[in-house]
């Protein structure tokens, strides 16, 4: 008998279940099929414009910096400003995502942009987001051919270009959006929920930013008319 069979056998025995228990199977199927949220806190139940404000408030409290801009045209300038502010070279590694193609990068010819997955030498990663969760100030990214997850973790600085319309209330709203986009059960390889820059408190419970992941997390929040 394999380990699998022995473990499952033990479980069934402990649960007092002989053979196939149709009721138990039905209960499991019901639960998996229902997309019902459990209790969801009321905090983020508010109009979208206020959800955006809540997101900014929560993200800021997590040491995420937020620059709010009027449109995609302002993104290159906002990123250049960020790089200048932190004395960073004018060089970014960017996700090869078409969502970022609409940004007029040519407006900043000094900004050197390469696209692809992150390498150890990359200092600044620029990515789009999938959603942003107002309840907790959490960014959500999903991996795909255009969105390598390494960009979220390897560079010292992570800059996220987020549309205001991508701000939603809760994790549950985010999952609903993901299922709507991809169909049930099809998870991207990686879903990252990111709530601040990397940090540790492993030395004397002293909070230090930049443990292994990005030292800084910056959001360029684009008002795309939905807010």
Partner 1 sequence: MQPTSHAFKQNAKRAMVDTPLQESLRRLETGFTAARQAAADGLPEFEDLRDEARGIKNHVLEHLDLYLERFESRVTEKGGQVHWCETPRDARNAILEICRKVGARTVTKGKSMVAEEIALNPFLEENGIEPVETDLGEYIIQLADEPPSHIIGPAVHKTKDQVSDLFHEHHQKYGKTERIEEPEALVAEAREILRQKYFDADVGITGANFLIAETGSTVIVTNEGNGDLTQMLPRIHIVVASLEKIVPTLEDVSTILRVLARSATGQEMSVYTTFSTGPKRPEDLDGPDEFHVVLLDNGRSEMLGTELQELLRCIRCGACMNHCPVYHAVGGHTYGWVYPGPIGAALDPHLIGLEEARHLPNASTFCGRCEEVCPMRIPLPKIMRHWREQAFEHHVSPSPERFAIRLWAAIAKRPMLYHLGTRIAMAVLGRLGRRRGRFASLPLAGGWTGGRDLPAPEGRTFQAMWAARGGRTGR
Q: Which of residues 122-141 bind partner 1 (CB under 8 A)?
A: 136, 138
140 or 222: whose CB is closer to partner 1?
A: 140
Positions 66 through 95 that interact with partner 1 (CB under 8 A):
none
Q: Please identify which residue in the block is written with the tokens 């696209």.
A: 115
Dist CA 212 CA 215 (whole Å):
8
Q: Of 91, 219, 98, 119, which Cα lies nearest the Cα of 167?
A: 219
Positions 173 through 212 that interact with partner 1 (CB under 8 A):
175, 185, 187-206, 208, 210-212
77 or 153: whose CB is closer to partner 1?
A: 153
CB atoms within 10 A of CB 4: 8
| Cβ pair 78, 65 in contact under 8 A | no
Positions 17 through 36 that interact with partner 1 (CB under 8 A):
17, 24-25, 27-28, 31-32, 35-36
Which listed residue (22, 39, 106, 180) binds partner 1 by CB under 8 A? 39
Dist CA 176 CA 36 (whole Å):
10
153 binds partner 1 (CB under 8 A): yes
143 binds partner 1 (CB under 8 A): yes
* Least distance in angstroms from the C-beta of 182 to partner 1: 11
Going by the DSSP 8-state scheme, the letter that residue 141 receives in this structure is E
116 binds partner 1 (CB under 8 A): yes
| Cβ pair 142, 175 in contact under 8 A | no
């Amino acid at each position: 008998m394999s380990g699998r069979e022995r473990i499952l056998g033990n479980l069934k025995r402990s649960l007092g279940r002989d053979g196939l228990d149709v009721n138990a199977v039905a209960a499991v199927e019901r639960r998996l099929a229902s997309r019902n949220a459990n209790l969801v806190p009321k905090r983020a139940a508010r109009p979208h414009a206020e959800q955006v404000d809540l997101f900014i408030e929560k993200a800021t409290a997590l040491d995420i910096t937020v620059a709010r801009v009027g449109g995609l045209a302002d993104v290159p300038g906002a990123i250049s400003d960020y790089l200048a502010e932190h004395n960073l070279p004018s060089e970014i590694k960017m996700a090869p995502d078409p969502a970022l193609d609409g940004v007029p990068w040519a407006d900043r010819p000094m900004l050197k942009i390469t696209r692809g997955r992150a390498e150890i030498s990359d200092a600044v990663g620029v990515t789009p987001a999938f959603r942003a969760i107002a309840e907790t100030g959490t960014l959500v990214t999903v991996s795909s051919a255009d969105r390598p997850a390494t960009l979220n973790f390897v560079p010292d600085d992570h800059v996220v270009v987020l549309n205001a319309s991508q701000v939603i209330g809760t994790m549950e709203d985010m999952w609903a959006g993901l299922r709507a986009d991809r169909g049930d059960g099809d998870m991207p390889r990686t879903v990252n929920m990111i709530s601040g820059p990397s940090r540790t408190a492993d030395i004397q419970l002293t909070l230090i930013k930049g443990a292994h992941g990005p030292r800084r997390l910056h959001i360029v929040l684009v008002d795309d008319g939905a807010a």
